[in-house]
């Protein structure tokens, strides 16, 4: 998983090529990727059936994320850095149908770390902390700029970090 990335919120088309989409997104982020640099790229999960539900205002399902494995970690790091630098990048000029939408590039986490990351973000929101991120599979949290970063490895770490920040 050290070479994997996840690209989310990219609109899905019937006859798309995820490898080509990844190359277009990489170019938009200022990274040059060749076919040899991409081990595999595909949409995650099963195809969604277009159906409207009474609670939904849109008939369009949320697009499946693109999971990609790159040949080298430095390419993955360059893509993640490009996405961080160009944080507001949209699908404009990628040749996709529909209005441009913002897309997100993140590193791929294990299922356990995904759950831990969500819990950490929820706790950060409750306690007013501004920064939660992952780097090389590690979950980190910081209250405000200049404060030390804390590594989160378990649910107990989440509560310990916020408990010590409250002075209890």
3-state secondary structure the chain: CCCEEEEECCCCCCCCCHHHHHHHHHHHCCCCCCHHHEEEEEECCCCCCCCCCCCCCCCCCCCCCEEEEECCHHHHHHHHHHHHHCCCCECCCCCCCCCCCECEEEECCCHHHHHHHHHHHHHHHHHCCCEEEEECCEEEEECCCCCCCEEECCHHHHHHHHHHHCCC
Residue 49 sits in a domain whose CATH number is 3.30.70.1820
Residue 159 has pLDDT above 90, yes or no: no
Same domain for 75 and 34: yes
The distance of Cα 57 from the centroid of its chain, to the nearest Å, equals: 25
Same domain for 101 and 20: yes
Q: Return the pLDDT at 89.
A: 85
Same domain for 90 and 119: no
Predicted model pTM? 0.78
Query: Looking at per-residue confidence, does 76 or 48 come out higher?
Result: 76
Q: What is the pLDDT of residues 3-37, one digit of tens each?
A: 999 999 888 888 889 999 999 999 999 999 888 99
Q: What is the pLDDT of residues 68-98, one digit of tens each?
A: 999 999 999 999 999 999 888 888 888 888 8
Same domain for 144 and 100: no
The parent domain of residue 156 ranges over: 111-165
Banded pLDDT at 56 (limits 50, 70, 90): very low
Question: Considering 107, 141, 157, which residue would you say is the last residue of a domain?
Answer: 107
Same domain for 61 and 20: yes
Domain count, the chain: 2
Q: Return the pLDDT at 53.
A: 44
What is the mean predicted confidence (pLDDT) over 128-140?
90
Same domain for 86 and 130: no
Same domain for 97 and 154: no
Q: Return the pLDDT at 168.
A: 46
Residue 123 has pLDDT above 60, yes or no: yes
């Amino acid at each position: 998983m050290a070479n994997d990335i996840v690209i989310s919120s990219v609109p899905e088309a019937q006859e798309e090529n995820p490898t080509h989409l990844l190359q277009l997104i990489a170019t938009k982020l200022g990274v040059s990727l060749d076919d040899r640099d991409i081990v595999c790229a595909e949409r995650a999960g099963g195809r969604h059936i277009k159906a409207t539900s009474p609670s939904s205002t849109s008939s369009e399902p949320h697009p499946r994320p693109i999971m990609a494995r790159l040949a080298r970690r430095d390419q993955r790091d360059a893509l993640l850095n490009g996405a961080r630098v160009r944080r507001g990048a949209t699908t404009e000029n990628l040749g996709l149908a529909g209005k441009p939408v913002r897309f997100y590039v993140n590193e791929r986490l294990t299922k356990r770390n995904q759950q831990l990351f969500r819990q950490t973000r929820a706790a950060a929101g409750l306690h007013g902390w501004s920064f939660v991120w992952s780097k090389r599979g590690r979950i980190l949290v910081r209250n405000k700029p200049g404060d030390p970063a804390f590594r989160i490895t378990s649910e107990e770490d989440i509560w310990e970090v916020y408990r010590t920040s409250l002075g209890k």
